[in-house]
Amino acid sequence: MKTTFRMMKTKHLSLLLAVLAGGFLMSCEEDDGAENALLDAQNEINVVDVTTHDGRPFSTGVEPQSNAKYVGGPGGGVMMQGFYWDVPAGGTWWNTVKNKTTAWANAGIKAIWLPPVSKAQNGPYSMGYDPTDYYDFGNYNQNGTVETRFGSKTELQALITAAHGQSMEVYADIVINHNSGGQSEANQYTGGNTWTNFNGVASGKFKRTQHDFHPNWVHSNDGGSFGGFPDLCHDVPYVQDWLWGRSDAVAKYYKNTMKFDGWRFDYVKGFEPWVVNSWNNAVGGFSVGELWDSDVNYLNWWANNANSSVFDFAAYYKMNDAFDGNNLNKLNDDMMWKRNAYKAVTFVTNHDTDEIYNKMLAYAYILTHEGYPCIFYQDYETWLDKNKLNNLIWIHNNKATGNTSILYTDTDEYVARRNGYGGNPGLIVYINNSNSWLTRWVPTNWNNTQIKDFTGHSGWYPTTQSGGWVEIQCPPKSYSVWSPNI
C-alpha cells in the first residue's frame, strides 16, 4: 500500500513538474514572441520629423473679447465655417448662428467664419459673393430688399456680440476682387458700355466708376476677372483709400464699427498678395486667403508675401488621395502645414468643395495635426457624428501640442506623434483605413507610463516600456489617439 502511494505521489509530482516546465516554456515563448514583435516593429519604424519648430501652439494673435465659455487650450483653436452654400433665405441665418454660439463655445470652437455680410446684386437671394455696397449690412433698401439673405445689420451685430460674449472670434468673408450690381455707363477704356457705375450705392460710401475697374488708366487689361464681374483695380489710390486707408475705409469700418476680428479673403488669385498685406497692416486681425491651388510652393509664397494664413489646399487634395484613394502613404507628401504650420488653415470640405468621402478619418487627421483646423457647418450640424467631432475638438485643444513626427505609413496605416510642448505630453494618432483591427508597436516620448485611447475606440490601457515603446491598436476604418492617462 505504501509502495503504491509512493508511486502515485511520484507520478503526480512528475506531472506537476511537467506542467510547470511547460508553463515556463510557454512563458518564454510568449516573451520571445513579444520581443520578436517589438524587434520587427523597430525595424519597420522610420521616424520622420516633419516639423522642427519650437512647438509653440498656434495663435490667431487676437485678444479674447471676454473671459467666457471658450478658453483656449494648449493645442490652439478650431474654426467653424458658419454657413454652407444656399443656406435658407428669408433673413434668418444670423439668428440661426447666434443661437449656436453657446454650444459651439462649449465644444471648444474658437472662431466663426461668416459669409460675405454686405448687400449684393441678387439681394435677398445672394450668398454675398457678388458685392454691391460694402456698407449695407441689411439696413438700406436696395437691390430689391432691405435685409440681406442672412438678416439685418442689427441681427448681424447681435450675432457678433453673442460670439464675443463666449470669447469667440468672428471672421468676415471679404470679396474685393470684383463687384456686381452697378449701373451701365459708357466706358472710355473699352469703347462700349460696362456695368461699372456704383455712384448710386445707398450707403453713399465707396462710390465707384469705370476708372476704378480693369481696364483703366493704370492697367490696360483685366488682371484677375471672375465670372464676368467688373474687376476692381487695387493699384488705383482711390480704391486703396476706400478699402483700407481712410478712417471709414471698409477694413476699418468692419473692424471698429462692426467689431470683426479677422478676415477670409475670397479668390486671392485675382489680385496680388500685397493687397492683403496692406489690409492687414492697416487693421490687423487674423487673416486667411482662399488660394485654390495644390502647389505648396505657391501657397507658401503667397502666405509669406500677404502676411497671412492660407487655406491648405495641398493637404486637402492629399487627404482625398489618401483616404478615398486608399493609400495613406500620400500623407507623407508635402503640405502647407508642413512648410509653415502657423500660416496653414486645414479643412476637410467647404461651401465650394466636397470631394472627400471618408470625412471622419480626414477630421481625425486635421484635428490631431498642426495648423488651424476649420470644421464645415454641415459636417458638424447635419452630416457627421457631432459627438465624435466634439471629442476630436477636445483632443485638438488639449492634447495636440508640439511639432510632428511621422512614425509609420503604408497603404492602410498611418501613425504620427505630436511631441508635446510646455509640459503637455502631446499624443500619438493611429489611422486605420483597412477592414480589420490592427496593432502596431510605436516609439513614444513617455517611459513607464500608462496611456489610453482618448477617442474611446480602444479599451486598452497599455504601459510604455522603459525605452518608450508600446503596442497600440486601432479599429477598422477608424482612428485612435493615445496619450498618458492623466
**Mean pLDDT for back-to-back runs of 10 residues, the chain (486 residues):** 43 47 50 67 87 86 59 83 98 99 97 98 97 98 98 99 97 97 97 97 99 93 69 97 99 98 97 97 97 98 97 98 97 97 97 91 98 98 98 97 97 98 96 98 98 98 97 99 96
First-to-final CA distance of the chain: 64
Identify the CA nearest to 432 among candidates 452, 451, 449, 455: 455
Burial class (CB in 10 A: 0-12, 13-18, 19+), 469: middle
Helix (H) or strand (E) holding 158: helix 153-165
CA distance 423 to 466: 20
Quote the cell numbers at residue 314: 495641398
Angle separating helix axes 386-399 and 359-366, nearest 10 degrees: 20
The one-letter amino acid at 91: G
Quote the cell numbers at residue 469: 515603446
- The Cα-based distances of 82 to 40, 79, 93, 116 in angstroms read 47, 9, 10, 11
Q: What is the largest CA-CA distance in the chain?
A: 128
Identify the CA nearest to 71 among candidates 427, 398, 381, 389: 398
| Unique residue bearing C-alpha cell 486635421 | 366
- The Cα-based distances of 66 to 74, 94, 155, 165 in angstroms read 18, 21, 20, 6
Can you give the pLDDT at residue 221? 72
CA distance 321 to 311: 18
Identify the CATH number of the domain defined by range 79-401.
Answer: 3.20.20.80
User: 121 with 145: CB under 8 angstroms?
Assistant: no
Can you give the pLDDT at residue 42? 78
Cα 250 to chain center, whole Å? 27
Can you give the pLDDT at residue 31? 58
pTM to 2 decimal places:
0.91
Quote the cell numbers at residue 486: 492623466
Identify the CA nearest to 117 among candidates 263, 267, 328, 289: 263
Can you give the pLDDT at residue 22? 53
Cβ neighbours, 10 Å, residue 142: 16
CA distance 468 to 477: 27
User: 401 with 368: CB under 8 angstroms?
Assistant: no
Can you give the pLDDT at residue 6? 44
